[in-house]
Amino acid sequence: MKVLSIQSAVAHGHVGNSAAVFPLQRIGVEVVPVLTVNFSNHTGYGAWRGPLIPPADVAEVLLGVEERGVFPQIDAVLSGYQGGAGIADVIIDAVGRVKAANPAAVYACDPVMGNAKSGCFVAPEIPVLLRDRVVPVADIITPNQFELGFLTGTEPASIESTLASADLARAMGPSTVLVTSVERPDREEGTMEMLVVDDAGAWIVTTPHLPFKANGSGDVTAALFTAHYVTTKNAALSLERTASSVFDLIETTYRSGERELQLVQAQQFYAEPRMQFSAKQVR
């Protein structure tokens, strides 16, 4: 399997491609990483250095990859945080060219906007751009509950309302929606949930909630789920594998006392997920 991953990169820590590439490689996926920013560290520190790569330069790199005959080999295109409005056109164009070269290829979009606690943390034009132009060309999207609400103009909370919002999102274009954080009021205390919906049904998985904000964990989630889903075509199994690996990554990081994801230290959990969480079918 080969994934074209168009995302940010950091020298210190693990977000964007710096979070997604190694876990994918560890499960045997060949990754073609194309960088949209090259920062010293993620912006959560409040200060960082390094360039936002101009969309024209990103397009040049993609053209060079295409000229090497790689696009027919691409099974999935993956994108995440979009630092500026211009990069969306580059991604959409690349997706179209990859699919022309390999009609079986899929596009997985993590529509990064923000979360319920901090609100939107991207430029004001990005959420609208994602909703109106990027998400409609995606096959898989991996929003959190807050992002799902923005995309669909709803306020998902319960399983039923989250399923309804996911259906609205699927009507926009994507066939598969992974909601990476379902915070329903009636969930068991001390837990977190993820929900996936596709043509075959809907499944939810429950994991313990750790009191720790792990920058980059969403990037790992989107990458692993995409790879497992494209490989197995089984949403429930892909959800279980992803939830297992990501929980163990976050727990490893939490126990370490470090701020940045312990991506390398947790590598065995990608290669051999413990499968300690079962997905429950809810539709």
Distances (CA, A) of 133 to 13, 50, 81, 100: 30, 28, 15, 19
- Tens digit of each residue's pLDDT (9 = 90 or more) over 77-105: 999 988 778 999 999 999 999 999 999 99
pLDDT < 70: residue spans in the chain: 115-121
pTM of full prediction above 0.85:
yes
Domain with residue 271: its CATH number is 3.40.1190.20
> How many C-beta atoms lie closer than 10 Å to residue 259's C-beta?
13
Please name the residue that has the structure tokens 């789920």: 225
Residue 74, phi-psi category: left (phi > 0), alpha (psi -120 to 50), beta (remainder)? beta
User: Residue type for 236, please?
Assistant: A
d(CA 279, CA 267): 23
Gyration radius of the chain over CA positions = 17
Six-digit token pair at 179?
């909601």
Domain that residue 77 falls in: 2-281
In the chain, % of residues over pLDDT 90? 89
The tokens 């993620």 sit on which residue?
A: 42
Q: What is the amino acid identity at position 225?
A: F
Residue 53 three-state SS: coil
pLDDT tens by residue, 10-51: 999 999 999 999 999 999 999 999 999 999 999 889 999 999
